[in-house]
Amino acid sequence: MERPLTQHIHPDGTTRTLREYVTTGGYHCLQRLAGLPPKDVQRLVTDAGLRGRGGGGFLTGAKWSFVPMGADAAKPKYIVANGDEMEPGTFKDRVLIEGDPHGLIEGMILAGYAIEAEIGYIFLRGEYHLSARRLTEAIAEAYAAGYLGTPLPGTGFRFDLHLHASAGRYICGEETALINALEGKRAVPRAKPPFPQTVGLWGKPTVVQNVETLYNIPHIVNHGSDWYRRLSRTQDGGTKIYGISGRVTNPGWWELPLGTTAREVLERYAGGVADGVRFRGLLPGGISTAFMTEEHLDLPLDFSSIPPEVGRLGTATMIVLDDHTCPVGFVLNLEKFFTRESCGWCTPCREGLPWVARILMSFEEGRATSDDLSLLKMHTKWLAPGHTFCGLAPGAMAPLQSALKYFHDDFERHITTGGCPWSKKSAQQRVLV
């Protein structure tokens, strides 16, 4: 099994040096750019079927195609790496950055070349202190070696790269909110159109890409689009970093062919659920995705095979729900997070999410009625896509709507028993002890 993104990452957690990176082929493809125009790099990535790894799964080549090209295009242009990674349960970008920071740098140089952007920013989650330190060191190494800051041989293309540590907020995962934050403004989403590819950072053409997405680009340029497509089990190209957390035997992450099933990740790599618990469901890609249950475990985990009525892949870092965990309390915890992280820009999100959290709390405290179930279902409709300014509130509704579908009996039990059965069971066990 080929693992282009992670095959050279040290298992002990130390970072790869520039010398190690170059020895294994790093930065070599930059020499090919003299005979490879920017449009050809775009075509390679388009033919490879690379989709954005941040959760949306938009075709990378298609995203680049909206950027104005040529001498008449506005300058400067920008390429921005979204390393904010504040999706709870998601840790794939941190693994890549800390283990192989030069892979991100090379990916950004190539992406910048493809859209004729000579300035790049890495927008990094503020709490990622080790990532920041290792990126700072790697950027300094790349400048000293001439990969950054000086024209690449035969191209005249020069790329400069800056690291920006975020002040934090989940909303910075939305690309226009990230751009506002990078400009020193309040992190709220912008109205679209215009899209960042034409009017982005400081009013100039900008492409925002997820960190894992950028790591794929050097391998596509080195080995070609056909090779990249063969890595996958489905029509989407490449590999994917799958992760899993929760009560499983072996929580962790693995680089696997895109299209690997949830069952294979859960049972083969994570060793199944831990002893003494049963599987009830999982969120396939962070907390803004819908629950998948036993009937969905054999679906290929890619951006095309999961039916819309089931959900979406998201970041492919799974969170497992077991039968010792209250699904209502589980969802309440998620909605509290979304409530806290709402930017407050639009009324449905600002007012609706706290209301959802309060209703869920009433279930846990034994105050809920059947009318509250109806209210929760109403919120999943009124906070759905098309009713809010950005995707935060619709993302918050994905786990709630699916929980109401698959764990409806648990919500009913909270009403009939006057509170959370799991909390009562724990209290009884403490009394017995």
Residue 322 to residue 357: CA distance in whole angstroms: 22
- CA distances to 34, 221, 333 from 56, in Å: 33, 23, 23
- What's the number of CA atoms in the CB half-sphere (13 Å) around residue 46? 13
pLDDT score for 145:
97
Show the tokens assigned to 121: 């920013």
In the chain, which stretches have pLDDT less than 50?
Answer: 427, 429-433
Q: Where are the domains of the chain?
A: 18-230, 239-322, 327-432
> For 115-139, b where at least 16 C-beta lie within 10 A, e where not — what string?
bbbebbbbbbbeebeebbebbeebb
pLDDT, residue 433, reads 37
Distance of alpha carbon 59 from alpha carbon 105, whole angstroms: 21
Beta strands 279-283 and 317-322: pairing type?
Answer: antiparallel
CATH topology of domain 239-322: Ubiquitin-like (UB roll) (3.10.20)
Instruction: Give the Cα separation of 78 and 111 in Å (integer).
Output: 10
Q: Which two tokens stand for residue 99?
A: 């283990």
Residue with tokens 């215009």: 194
**Given the structure tokens 């020895």, which residue do they identify?**
23
CATH number of 18-230: 3.40.50.11540
Side chain identity at residue 223, one-letter code: H
pLDDT at 431: 37
Instruction: Write down the H helix ranges in 146-196.
Output: 175-182
What is the DSSP code string of 255-276? EEETT-BHHIIIIIIS-SBPTT
For residue range 188-244, what is the model confidence (pLDDT) as tens digits? 999 999 999 999 999 999 999 999 999 999 999 999 999 999 999 998 899 999 999
Residues sharing a CB contact under 8 Å with residue 227, sequence separation 6 or more, in sequence order: none
Q: Which stretches does DSSP call E strand in 185-269?
A: 206-210, 239-245, 252-257
Class of domain 327-432: mainly alpha
How does 333-350 read in b/e, with b if 16+ C-beta sit within 10 Å? ebbbbbbebbbebbebbb
Closest CA to 395 of 51, 53, 55, 81: 55
Cis ω before 307 (30° cut-off from 0):
no
Q: How far is CA 286 from the centre of its chain?
A: 8
